């Protein structure tokens, strides 16, 4: 099942997103963010459209996409799970949680589970430092995540029921 947060891309949608921002200074990053925010990732078909619109080479656009790990080039899973790796969460057990998360899901950062349910991403501070370790699932930030709580969250994600922490 597709991630319901995002819309399937079409060339027309991509061009609309590009056209809305292309006249701004430093338009490349805002365009890439807009595409990923709407479509869940930056499809490779967007590269020539962006390059032509901004008068850049395709290699230049590719270079920026690959430089920033934030940008996905493949569709995310049904849920995007971010684990905070910043210092305050590390001090509260984020490293152990991270190991548990990777082991449980069988993926590393920037990967998606084989069943396309969960994409795992690192994040550097979610603004809830005193409640670490923190994770974000979609738009929801959840604090004090223990391995046990994480297992519960995975069960909730796969049944679509997410409770506020």
| Residues that constitute the known binding site | 84, 89, 125, 129
Give the one residue of 13, 56, 64, 125 binding ligand FES; rule: CB under 6 A: 125
- What does the per-residue mask of binding to ligand FES show for 129-148, with x meaning CB under 6 A? x--x-x--------------
- What does the per-residue mask of binding to ligand FES show for 86-115, with x meaning CB under 6 A? x-xx--------------------------
Strands (E), the chain: 79-84, 111-112, 118-123, 135-137, 140-142
Q: Tell me if 122 sits within 8 A of 83, measured CB to CB.
A: yes
Query: Shortest distance, CB of residue 65 to ligand FES, whole angstroms?
Result: 26
Q: Could you tell me which residues are beta bridge partners of residue 121?
A: 82
If one asks whether residue 120 binds ligand FES (CB under 6 A), the answer comes out as: no
Measured distance between the N- and C-terminal CA atoms of the chain, rounded to whole angstroms: 25
If one asks whether residue 82 binds ligand FES (CB under 6 A), the answer comes out as: no
Cβ neighbors of 66 (< 8 A, separation 6 or more) are: none
If one asks whether residue 119 binds ligand FES (CB under 6 A), the answer comes out as: no
Quote the CA–CA distance of 39 and 84 in Å, as a whole number: 23
The dihedral region occupied by 93, where left means phi > 0, alpha psi between -120 and 50, and beta the remainder, is left
Query: Shortest distance, CB of residue 112 to ligand FES, whole angstroms?
Result: 23
Q: Tell me if 154 sits within 8 A of 100, measured CB to CB.
A: no
Q: Which residues are annotated as a binding site for [2Fe-2S] cluster?
A: 84, 89, 125, 129
If one asks whether residue 81 binds ligand FES (CB under 6 A), the answer comes out as: no
Q: What angle do CA 99, 105, 107 make, to 5 degrees?
A: 80
DSSP state of 131: G
CB nearer ligand FES, residue 101 or residue 126: 126
Query: Shortest distance, CB of residue 70 to ligand FES, whole angstroms?
Result: 17
Residues that bind ligand FES (CB under 6 A): 84, 86, 88-89, 125-129, 132, 134
């Amino acid at each position: 099942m597709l991630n319901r947060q995002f819309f399937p891309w079409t060339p027309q949608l991509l061009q609309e997103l590009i056209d809305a921002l292309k006249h701004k200074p430093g338009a490349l990053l805002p365009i890439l963010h807009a595409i990923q925010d709407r479509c869940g990732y930056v499809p490779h078909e967007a590269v020539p459209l962006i390059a032509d619109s901004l008068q850049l080479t395709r290699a230049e656009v590719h270079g920026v996409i690959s430089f920033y790990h934030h940008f996905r080039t493949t569709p995310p899973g049904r849920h995007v799970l971010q684990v905070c790796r910043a210092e305050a969460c590390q001090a509260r057990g984020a490293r152990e949680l991270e190991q548990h998360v990777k082991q449980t899901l069988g993926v590393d950062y920037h990967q998606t589970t084989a069943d396309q349910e969960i994409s795992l991403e690192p994040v550097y501070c979610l603004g809830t430092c005193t409640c670490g370790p923190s994770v974000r699932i979609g738009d929801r930030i959840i604090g004090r995540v223990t391995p046990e709580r994480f297992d519960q969250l995975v069960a909730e994600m796969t049944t679509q029921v997410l409770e506020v922490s």
